[in-house]
Amino acid sequence: MTPTSARERPPHPPKTNNVRTPIADALSVLMPWSSDPCGNSAKPSFPGLHELVRQLTGGRTTVRAVQLWSSGRRNAPAWFVAILRDRLLARRAEIDAALEALAAMPERRGNGYGLRQWWRDKRNREIQEARKAHQGPFR
């Protein structure tokens, strides 16, 4: 017997998209915005998916097309892949420059250097003084 009504049919399994594609990875790397809703980040807040697509493509495509390309359901055109590649290369240059600047910095101790040991020594001195004060005459 085949089910005839919607109540008798088994439910469809939920659709999940757990596949990471190179397009999706590139888009996530290129987002220079914060996802913090409270504005605690120094980055500007995310302007929205439409603005991201407009800035990336100059209005050449729709959000739905980018979604289909990033999910792997449709093949991305060569011009879009070229845009992503160029943006990633520019981002790589920024990251490389930042890494070189970090490597050139002299190594310094932080503001709290030695503070933990100072507190440990202070506590040990207090314990030793308390022990000496509590010792009786026969010890």
The model scores a pTM over 0.85? no
What pLDDT does 50 receive? 85
User: How confident is the model at residue 40, as a pLDDT?
Assistant: 65
Check residue 48 and report its DSSP letter: -
Question: What are the residue boundaries of the structural domains of the chain, listed by start?
Answer: 17-103
Q: Are 18 and 26 in contact (CB under 8 A)?
A: no
Tens digit of pLDDT at every position of the chain (139 positions):
555 565 666 665 555 556 677 888 887 777 766 566 666 666 666 777 788 889 889 989 999 999 899 888 999 999 999 999 999 999 899 888 888 888 888 877 777 778 888 899 999 999 999 998 887 665 5
Burial of residue 39 (number of CB atoms within 10 Å: 0-12, 13-18, 19+): exposed
